[in-house]
Amino acid sequence: MTAFVEGPLLQSPLRWGMVGGGKGSQIGHSHRDAAQRDGLMQLVAGAFDIDAERGRSFGVSLGLDAGRCYPSYAAMFEAEAARSDGIQVVSIATPNSSHFAVCKAALQAGLHVVCEKPLTIRLEDAQELQALATARGVVLGVMYGYTGYEMVQQARAMVQGGELGAVRVVHMQFAHGYHSAEVESADPGTKWRVTPAISGPSYVIGDLATHCYQMGALVSGLQLESLSCVRRSFVASRAPLEDDAHVMLRYQGNAVGMLWASAINIGSAHGFKLRVVCEKGSIEWWDEQPNQLKVAFAGKPEMTYERGHGYLDPSARFERVGGGHPAGYFDAWANLYRRFALAMSPEPQARALLDGQWFPSAQDGVEGVRFMLRCVESADAGSQWVGFQ
Ligand SMILES: NC(=O)c1ccc[n+]([C@@H]2O[C@H](COP(=O)([O-])OP(=O)(O)OC[C@H]3O[C@@H](n4cnc5c(N)ncnc54)[C@H](O)[C@@H]3O)[C@@H](O)[C@H]2O)c1
């Protein structure tokens, strides 16, 4: 990763639209903040809401031209394609079951896409989107936002650089406690997550475990071979979807793993942690203290690596702000949107500025959907071990 450079990297920001992420949505603001942070994308159009009038007035409140606040994604793609200054990129931040149709229409319109996870709720749909993006020559990114943290890059560099030795155990959890009771009766954002027709075949596996799986794969560099999952709905009305899941994992070689995804972990705010234990040492990262990485080598006291220091791998030294100041969630997202924009821009210098930097791609999206479905398959067959591929 090259160090942070302030100022415009592009002659013209990408003209950017959104589907979903309307007023009061959980994740819409994160996209708007991150995409526009470095001036590489500019929001010019949107179909923000399932309720057309609410979406229009919200778009206007964001400063958009009322004529570019559309009642539906289909209307937006059609009208924008007819404009000489139409959108070039769209972000999709709607509930899970709509991702496939919206994303397919966007790719068919020749747009670059940033889609929320899980990319789709069926594997063949995710694979179709990946193939379509390749065929149209556009970028399809998936918003695994946590992987934009600098200390996650550091973890990846240390594990894959070999200084810790071969990976033995990948331990992951994303276990919060916000939904330990039936809150969904008064919360539409939780209600769709426990409704199979909208959420897909899982709740916490698709919502939370896919983040863990993707980060575990990114940091360890290991291919998953097989898994065994148990899932439960401790709030009975959520069945057949689960609010708690445990997964045992076998990776290529000799490595193994464990993953806990939960919405009923009372006392935990967010609880997203990754620990990778290797032959000579281990690393541990926690998203509630994202500027630190715990590092230990056998026989030595544990160390805390801090963001912004010269001893870190160059890939972890982006430094929007110097060490000691806490960089956070929005910065991590902006780091990824910066890379999406550089990968998507038609300007000739953009690719060089990207300089081989990694971002979560359609392939990550496909693998996340595969992981979700394999977990469900295993759990529903009495936790049988199932092959990952
Ligand atoms: N990457 C992350 O860290 C992260 C975090 C939270 C949510 N998500 C994902 O983001 C997506 C949205 O989640 P959320 O929690 O923001 O949901 P939400 O229910 O809070 O908001 C969904 C928004 O989409 C709008 N919408 C629904 N259908 C639409 C349609 N057909 N056209 C236009 N707008 C439509 C709704 O009106 C609402 O504004 C989900 O796929 C979820 O998994 C990702």
pTM surpassing 0.95? Answer: yes
Maximum alpha-carbon separation in the chain: 65
- Would you mind telling me the total number of residues written for the chain in this entry? 389
At residue 3, the pLDDT reads: 80
Give the angle 186-191-192 at the CA atoms, nearest 5°: 150
* Amino acid in position 278: C
Query: What pLDDT sits at residue 2?
Result: 64
Q: Please tell us whether the domain made up of 149-319+367-380 is placed in CATH 3.30.360.10.
A: yes
Q: Phi-psi bin for 125: left (phi > 0), alpha (psi -120 to 50), beta?
A: alpha
Distance 19 CA to ligand 1 centre (A): 9
**pLDDT digit string, tens, across residues 114-138:** 999 999 999 999 999 999 999 999 9
Helix (H, G, I), strand (E, B) or coil at 296: strand
- Kindly report the protein residue whose alpha carbon is nearest to atom 19 of ligand 1: 189
Strands laid side by side in the 167-175 sheet: 303-306, 292-297, 281-286, 272-278, 167-175, 256-262, 244-251, 224-232, 386-387
For residue 272, the surrounding DSSP H or E stretch is strand 272-278
Task: Give the residue whose CA is nearest to atom 9 of ligand 1.
Answer: 116
Residue 214 falls in which region: left (phi positive, over 0), alpha (psi -120 to 50) or beta? alpha
Q: 116: CA distance to ligand 1 center in Å?
A: 8
**Residue 236 burial (C-beta neighbours within 10 Å; 0-12, 13-18, 19+):** exposed
CA-nearest residue, atom 22 of ligand 1: 94
55: closest CA among 34, 72, 38?
72
> HSE on the CB side for 373, CA within 13 Å?
18
pLDDT at 219: 98
Q: What is the helix (H) or strand (E) element at residue 293, kind and residue range? A: strand 292-297
Q: Which atom of ligand 1 is nearest to the CA of 143?
A: 1
Pick the closest to residue 251 from 220, 281, 278, 275 (CA basis).
Answer: 220
Q: Measured from the CA of 98, which atom of ligand 1 is nearest?
A: 31
Regions of the chain short of the pLDDT cut 50: none
What confidence score (pLDDT) does residue 8 get? 80
Residue pLDDT, tens place only, 191-221:
999 999 999 999 999 999 999 999 999 999 9
CA–centroid distance, 28 to ligand 1, in Å, is 7
For ligand 1, atom 30, the nearest C-alpha belongs to 50
State in Å: Cα 8 to ligand 1 middle: 30
Task: Give the residues surrounding ligand 1 with Cβ less than 6 Å away.
Answer: 19-22, 25-27, 47-50, 73, 93-96, 98, 116-117, 143, 145, 189, 192, 207
Domain boundaries, the chain: 149-319+367-380
Pocket test for ligand 1, best of 27, 179, 329 (most atoms within 8 A of CB): 27
Specify the pLDDT at position 49: 98
